[in-house]
Structure 1
C-alpha cells in the first residue's frame, strides 16, 4: 500500500528534521571541538604566548562565553521542537493516527507513539532546564534530557535506514511522496 502524505504533514516532517539535525549538531559540537575546556585551553595557551596568564577557571569561563551563541541555537531549536510537537499532536487529532490494518504499519505506528512520548519528555525536560525550575534536581533533569536526546538521535538513524529499506521494497517512491506528495 502506497501511503500519501498531506502537505501539512510533509512540512511538519521536514521542519522537525531540520530542528533535530540542528540539535544534534549543537550537542556534538558542545561535546567535542566547542567543549568549554577545549576552547578554554586554546585561549589559555594563546594568551600565555602573548604574555598573559589566566587560571583554568577563567579559561573555562571564556570557553563558555565563546560557545554561548551556539548554545542559544540549541535552545531556539529545542523550543521549535516543542512547538512542532504540539503541531504534530494537532495533526493526529485532526487526521487520526495508526488505523492502518497492515500489521507492519501497526508496528511502525506504535514506534512513532513511543517517539512522540520521548519528544514530549525531551521538550518538557528542556523547558524545565531553560526556565531553571529544576531546583536541586537539575542534574537528574539534565541526565534524562541527554539520554532521551541520544535515544531520539538513534531513532533518527533507524528511521533513515528504514526509509532506505522501504525504498528498496514495495514502498519505492516513499521519499518522493514525502517531498512533493506524489511519485
Structure 2
C-alpha cells in the first residue's frame, strides 16, 4: 500500500511539471547549439562544395580573369570543403565533451531525477501497479526515446572520433569508409529524433504540458 501511494505521488508530480536541474538545462541547450552547428556544416558542404560546384567555381574564376583548369577548380572546391569539415570536427569534439559531461552529471542528480530510475518507476506503475497508466505510458515512451537518442549520440561521438583520428587508429580505409557511412546514417536518425522531439514539445505546449519550454529555461517548479 505504501509503495502504491509513493508511486502515485511521483506520477502526480510528473503531471504538475518537473524541476529541471541546472546541469541538465545547460547540457540541453548547449547540445542543441552544437548539434545545430554540426548539421549546418554538413548542409554547407553538401550544397556548396560538392563536386557539382566545381564548374561554378571554374566559371567564376574565369570571369574574374584567371586561367583555371578543371583540376585546379576541383582543388579550390576541395580546399574549401576541408575548411568546413575542420569546423565540423571542432563541433564533434564539443559534442564528445558534452556527452561526457551528461554522463557525469547523471551521477550527481538526485535518484528521483535520474533517467533509469524514472524509467523503472514508470514501468512499475504501468505494468505492475496499473495505476495512472496514461501518464506512465507517456513517461515510458519519452524516456525510451531519450535512451535511443543517447545511444545515437554515443555512436556519433565514437564514430566521429575514429574518423577524426583515422591517421592514427590503423583502421583499414575500407572500414573507415563504412564508419563514415554509418556516422552519416546516424545523423539522419538524430534529425528524425529532433523532429519527433520538437513535435512533442509543440503538442505538449498546446495541451496539458504548457510551459515546458520555459521550464527547460528557468527550471520550472516542483
> 1: CA distance between counterparts of 2:151 and 2:99?
10
> 2: CA distance between counterparts of 1:76 and 1:51?
34
Answer yes or no: is 1:166 the counterpart of 2:166: no
Partner of 1:86: 100
Deviation digits for residues 110-167 of structure 1 (CA, Å, limit 9, x no counterpart):
1111111111111111110100134221210110000001110111111111111111
Contact 1:129 1:141 in 2 (8 A): yes
Partner of 2:10: none
Report the secondary structure of 2:143's partner residue: helix
Report the secondary structure of 1:99's partner residue: helix
Answer yes or no: is 1:97 the counterpart of 2:115: yes
For structure 1, list consecutive stretches of 5 or more residues without a partner in the other structure: none
> 2: CA distance between counterparts of 1:112 and 1:25?
23
Partner of 1:54: 69
> What's the offset of the Cα at 1:48?
3.0
- Rate the CA distance shift 1:175–1:41 in 2: closer, same or farther, 3 A: same
Contact 2:35 2:95 in 1 (8 A): yes
Partner of 1:45: 59
Deviation digits for residues 57-92 of structure 1 (CA, Å, limit 9, x no counterpart):
332221021233322221111111111111111122
For structure 2, list consecutive stretches of 5 or more residues without a partner in the other structure: 1-14, 123-135
Answer yes or no: is 1:150 the counterpart of 2:165: no
Q: TM-score of the superposition, structure 2-length normalised?
A: 0.76
Which 10-residue stretch deviates more, 117-126 or 59-68?
59-68
Matches within 5 A, 1:1-183: 1=15, 2-38=17-53, 40-49=54-63, 50=65, 52-55=67-70, 57-95=71-109, 96-100=114-118, 101=122, 102-132=136-166, 133=169, 134-136=171-173, 137-182=175-220
> What's the offset of the Cα at 1:36?
4.7
> 1: CA distance between counterparts of 2:37 and 2:96?
14
> What's the offset of the Cα at 1:94?
2.7
> 2: CA distance between counterparts of 1:166 and 1:70?
37
Contact 1:37 1:63 in 2 (8 A): no
Contact 1:167 1:173 in 2 (8 A): yes
Structure holding more helix per residue: 2
